[in-house]
């Protein structure tokens, strides 16, 4: 990973059919022509499993990276109907995987499972985008920081290579809701979390740190001044090439 570069990560969730490559083609065209800024950022797109093989082949050597949205908490092969292991992802040329998204946590993923996912993903040389975030009630009760700390420490370990780990702060109340933290709140959380991560995991350098939750081309204008952020995890707005490109455009405006 190049240091200093910003990350624009798209999470398509349950969206996309084979012809949806056109969305990414348009984003890629913009990226290739953006000679002024393209060295400053990296695009990672996470389509559903059904499109991974197709996309990874199509965007090979294009400097657009394809991520999986999840992986199973066991490795190699096994009797786990409907699941995909980190090993299987790596073997089709995937280099990134989102782990711990709140939508998956909500449907039953535990810290113990996430711990195994992270372990096996790193073992297979995948880069991890590890999601953390507090819910509305936790925020209201001023528990945000303690929730985030717990989510980090119950899954990540000092021995891991944090060069391969990207932390994505995604407040649950913000995902898909159009509500976002104020720039001040986000700045404060970013500073405190980074300090915590560095000391807790004994790191010289902070891993990449992203914000996600209702990111769009307007909000990006407020958040781009937060130097502590290394990029954004973008859900809804990543399903449209125009919206995704506008986010990048406004970021560099
Ligand atoms: P959103 O989703 O941008 O639609 O809020 C973000 C995410 O869930 O990663």
Q: What pLDDT, on a 0 to 100 scale, did the predictor assign at position 3?
A: 44
Q: Indicate if the pLDDT at residue 2 is higher than 90.
A: no
Q: Which of 73, 101, 103, 138 is catalytic?
A: 101
Q: Which residue has the higher pLDDT, 128 or 1?
A: 128
In the reported structure, the alpha carbon of residue 65 is separated from the centroid of ligand 1 by a whole-number distance in angstroms of 18
Q: What is the pLDDT of residues 26-48, one digit of tens each?
A: 999 999 999 999 999 999 999 99
Q: What is the pLDDT of residues 86-134, one digit of tens each?
A: 999 999 999 999 999 999 999 999 999 999 999 999 999 999 999 999 9
Q: What pLDDT, on a 0 to 100 scale, did the predictor assign at position 63?
A: 86
Q: Is 109 among the residues known to form the active site?
A: no
In the reported structure, the alpha carbon of residue 232 is separated from the centroid of ligand 1 by a whole-number distance in angstroms of 10
Task: Please name which of 146, 112, 119, 121 lies closest in space to residue 132, comparing C-alpha atoms.
Answer: 146
Q: Is 73 among the residues known to form the active site?
A: no
Residue of 97, 181, 213 best suited for mutating to test ligand 1, as the one with most atoms within 8 Å of CB? 213
Q: Within the chain, where are the H helices?
A: 21-33, 49-58, 86-91, 102-106, 111-123, 136-140, 144-153, 183-200, 219-223, 241-251
How far apart, in whole angstroms, are the C-alpha atoms of residue 74 and residue 88? 11
How far apart, in whole angstroms, are the C-alpha atoms of residue 68 and residue 96? 6
Q: What is the pLDDT of residues 130-176, one digit of tens each?
A: 999 999 999 999 999 999 999 999 999 999 999 999 999 999 999 99
In the reported structure, the alpha carbon of residue 235 is separated from the centroid of ligand 1 by a whole-number distance in angstroms of 4
Ligand 1 atom with the shortest distance to the CA of 216: 3
Q: What is the pLDDT of residues 194-228, one digit of tens each?
A: 999 999 999 999 999 999 999 999 999 999 999 99
Domains recognised in the chain with CATH numbers: 6-251 (3.20.20.70)
Which residue's entry shows tokens 């969305």?
A: 23
> What does pLDDT average to over the chain?
96
How far apart, in whole angstroms, are the C-alpha atoms of residue 64 and residue 25? 10
């Amino acid at each position: 990973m190049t240091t200093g570069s910003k990350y624009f990560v798209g999470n398509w969730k349950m969206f996309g059919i084979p012809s949806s490559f056109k969305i990414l083609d348009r984003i890629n065209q913009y990226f290739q022509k953006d000679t002024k800024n393209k060295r400053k950022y990296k695009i990672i797109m996470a389509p559903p499993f059904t499109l991974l093989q197709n996309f990874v082949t199509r965007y090979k050597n294009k400097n657009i990276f394809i991520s999986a949205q999840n992986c199973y908490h066991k490795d190699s092969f096994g009797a786990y109907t409907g699941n995909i292991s980190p090993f299987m992802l790596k073997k089709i040329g995937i280099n990134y995987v989102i782990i711990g998204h709140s939508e998956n946590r909500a449907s039953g993923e535990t810290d113990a499972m996430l711990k195994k996912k992270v372990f096996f993903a790193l073992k297979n040389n995948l880069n991890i985008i590890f999601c953390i975030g507090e819910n509305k009630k936790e925020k209201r009760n001023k528990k945000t920081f303690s929730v985030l700390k717990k989510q980090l420490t119950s899954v990540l370990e000092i021995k891991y290579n944090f060069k391969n780990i990207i932390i994505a702060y995604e407040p649950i109340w913000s995902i898909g809701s159009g509500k976002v933290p104020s720039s001040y709140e986000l700045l404060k959380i970013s500073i405190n979390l980074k300090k915590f991560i560095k000391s807790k995991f004994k790191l010289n350098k902070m891993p990449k740190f992203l914000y996600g939750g209702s990111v769009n081309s307007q909000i990006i204008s407020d958040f781009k001044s937060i130097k502590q952020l290394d990029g954004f995890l973008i859900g809804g707005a990543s399903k449209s090439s125009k919206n995704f490109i506008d986010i990048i455009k406004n970021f560099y405006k």
